[in-house]
């Protein structure tokens, strides 16, 4: 390569190639391609440890982020296929180990790591992610105690989400058979590893989506179960997709993941947490023998409760029957009183008849013709002495005539047809009733306007034409009755 030009060189506006110089200028794309090949050849496989920052998933499914430590930062990208296989939800602040290769991005003249796999940097980072996820989901209310539902007392169908080949399903079936045999539906899933979380969530949603009364019976309760293991083995039950599926399930859910000391986010979201899968089966159903004993005891108590009032009633009835007097003793006073009253009634009727005959005889003696004639003559004399003055009769007649004339004047002024003489009209409907409002008139098919000199028929604007009136039926001649043919008695 030729040395750079000195001050003694002839500098000009147009670039010139010095004699003997065979280094042609490179384009930006060419130098970017050289850098890309050099970096990829030198750093074809690297493992980087750092903290995630600026995590973002594009609409295409690609995953973009930055890895940083205390003093440096490097961009990272994970293509769609590898991003779909992530076993955890990548978030800012997580410490991870990224495996991949370094490359350059010519569009920005930056180098970056193409991530093939992404893992949490140790169990501490895993626990930190777990706590962060728990706090976020708890803030949404997925773990609230108010959302917990009571388990059905005696479920007819039990759905179990677990591995079909492990000891868990055998323990659950054995415990159910011992306590209360029930119809069990097993939804086989992976309980750890790649895709386990999606299978568990799909199984829970599948049970919840079964229609009641369909060809496949809908469970009354769902058990999500898995045996014990490390935190990595149980991690599928900490995934957000599983937690949300359990929280949204329309059927009560029992979480039985791991041993008693193991706790997953699925336990927080479930309606009940069981320390072991066997304990979940015990929570799901009661003991049939205990129920049979309880029913027998309740039936005996019911019989005793029914018979006891009857027995007590019999005892009380017998005791009170002994205290009751004999019927003839109860009726003796009333019988004696009846005899006494009958005798008194007989004597009273005889006395009353005798007094009546005496009064009749005295009245007959006073009804003589001379006494009646004397009374009539006295009444005639009093009538002759009375004199009727004409003023006493004429004054009330004049006062009545004045009141009658006043009432006649008032009646003539208040007569409803009096305003017709001043140009007013009365609006009536077909039946002759007077209408006082526009709404009443608008609702009638025909109107009758009464003026001073007669009536005029009218039809409101917009009213339907009146229905034709049926012809009146010929009237039958009235039958003559004896009363109609009777002569006038006062003619």
Q: What's the CA gap between 323 and 259, in Å, rounded?
A: 74
Q: What's the CA gap between 55 and 35, in Å, rounded?
A: 27
- pLDDT, position 4: 55
pTM for this structure?
A: 0.46
Q: How confident is the model at residue 210 (pLDDT cuts 50, 70, 90)?
A: very high
Shared domain check, 161 and 102: no
| pLDDT tens string 163-204 | 998 889 999 999 999 999 889 999 999 988 888 899 999 999
Query: Which residues fall within 8 angstroms of residue 420, CB to CB, at 6 or more apart?
Result: 426, 450, 451, 452
**420 is a domain residue:** no
Looking at per-residue confidence, does 253 or 16 come out higher?
A: 253
**157 is a domain residue:** yes
Domain boundary, last residue among 271, 286, 301: 286
**51 is a domain residue:** yes
Shared domain check, 169 and 116: no
| pLDDT tens string 407-441 | 888 887 777 777 777 778 888 888 878 878 888 88
**103 is a domain residue:** yes
Shared domain check, 159 and 113: no
Q: 2 with 20: CB under 8 angstroms? A: yes
The Cα-based distances of 255 to 192, 193, 203, 225, 379 in angstroms read 16, 19, 14, 6, 121
Shared domain check, 117 and 159: no
Number of domains making up the chain: 2
CA 226 centroid distance within chain = 37
pLDDT of 12 above 60:
no
Shared domain check, 89 and 36: yes
Q: At what angle do helices 123-139 and 240-248 cross, to 10 degrees?
A: 30
pLDDT over 90 percentage in the chain:
20
Shared domain check, 282 and 171: yes
2-11, 128-137, 151-160 — which is least confidently predicted? 2-11
- pLDDT, position 356: 86
Q: What is the CATH number of the domain that holds 33?
A: 2.40.50.140
Residue 196, both tokens: 């386990």
Q: E strands along 274-423, which residues?
A: none
Q: What is the CATH number of the domain that holds 183?
A: 3.40.50.261
**478 is a domain residue:** no
Shared domain check, 273 and 211: yes
pLDDT over 70 percentage in the chain:
87
For tokens 């060809």, the residue is 215
**38 is a domain residue:** yes
Shared domain check, 262 and 157: yes
| pLDDT tens string 75-108 | 888 888 888 887 777 777 778 888 888 888 877 7
**291 is a domain residue:** no
Query: If you average pLDDT over residues 312-336, what whole number do you get?
Result: 84
| pLDDT tens string 59-79 | 888 888 888 888 888 888 888
Shared domain check, 162 and 282: yes
Give the closest residue to 114 by CA, choosing from 99, 94, 125, 129.
Answer: 99
Q: 273 with 261: CB under 8 angstroms? A: no
Domain boundary, last residue among 258, 286, 314: 286
Q: Please provide the average confidence, as pLDDT, over all residues in the chain.
A: 82
Domain that holds residue 221: 141-146+153-286
**293 is a domain residue:** no
DSSP 3-state of 21: coil
- pLDDT, position 489: 37
């Amino acid at each position: 390569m030729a040395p750079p030009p000195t001050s003694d060189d002839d500098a000009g506006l147009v670039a010139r190639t010095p004699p003997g110089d065979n280094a042609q200028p490179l384009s930006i794309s060419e130098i970017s391609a050289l850098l890309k090949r050099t970096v990829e050849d030198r750093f074809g496989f690297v493992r980087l440890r750092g903290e995630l920052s600026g995590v973002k998933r594009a609409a295409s499914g690609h995953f973009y982020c930055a890895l940083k430590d205390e003093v440096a930062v490097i961009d990272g990208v994970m293509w769609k296929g590898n991003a779909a296989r992530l076993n955890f939800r990548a978030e800012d602040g997580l410490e991870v180990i990224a495996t991949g290769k370094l490359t350059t991005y010519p569009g920005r003249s930056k180098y970056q790591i193409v991530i093939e796999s992404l893992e949490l940097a140790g169990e501490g980072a895993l626990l930190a992610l777990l706590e962060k996820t728990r706090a976020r989901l708890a803030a949404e209310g997925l773990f609230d105690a108010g959302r917990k539902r009571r388990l059905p007392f005696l479920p007819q169908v039990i759905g179990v989400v677990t591995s079909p080949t492990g000891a868990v399903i055998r323990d659950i079936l054995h415990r159910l058979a011992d306590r209360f045999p029930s119809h069990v539906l097993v939804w086989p899933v992976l309980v750890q590893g790649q895709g386990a979380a999606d299978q568990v969530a799909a199984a829970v949603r599948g049970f919840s989506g079964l229609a009641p009364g369909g060809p496949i019976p809908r469970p009354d309760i769902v058990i999500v179960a898995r045996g014990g293991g490390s935190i990595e083995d149980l991690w599928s039950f900490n995934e957000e997709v599983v937690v949300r599926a359990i929280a949204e399930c329309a059927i009560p859910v029992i979480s039985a993941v791991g041993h008693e000391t193991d706790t997953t986010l699925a336990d927080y979201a479930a309606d009940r947490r069981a320390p072991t899968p066997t304990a979940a089966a015990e929570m799901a159903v009661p003991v049939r023998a205990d129920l049979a004993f309880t029913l027998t005891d309740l039936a005996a108590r019911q019989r005793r409760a029914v018979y006891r009032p009857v027995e007590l009633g019999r005892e009380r009835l017998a005791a009170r029957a002994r205290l009751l007097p004999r019927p003839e003793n109860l009726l003796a006073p009333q019988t004696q009183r009846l005899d006494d009253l009958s005798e008194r009634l007989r004597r009273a009727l005889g006395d009353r008849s005798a007094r009546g005959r005496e009064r009749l005889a005295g009245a007959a003696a006073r009804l003589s013709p001379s006494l009646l004639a004397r009374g009539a003559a006295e009444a005639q004399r009093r009538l002759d002495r009375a004199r009727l003055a004409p003023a006493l009769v004429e004054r009330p007649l004049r006062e009545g005539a004045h009141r009658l004339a006043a009432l006649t004047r008032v009646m003539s002024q208040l007569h409803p047809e009096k305003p017709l003489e001043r140009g007013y009209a009365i609006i009536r409907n077909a039946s002759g009733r007077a209408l006082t409002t526009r709404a009443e008139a608008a609702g009638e098919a025909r109107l009758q306007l009464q003026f001073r000199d007669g009536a005029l028929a009218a039809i409101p604007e917009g009213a339907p034409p009146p229905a034709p009136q049926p012809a009146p039926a010929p009237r039958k001649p009235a039958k003559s009755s004896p009363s109609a043919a009777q002569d006038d008695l006062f003619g």
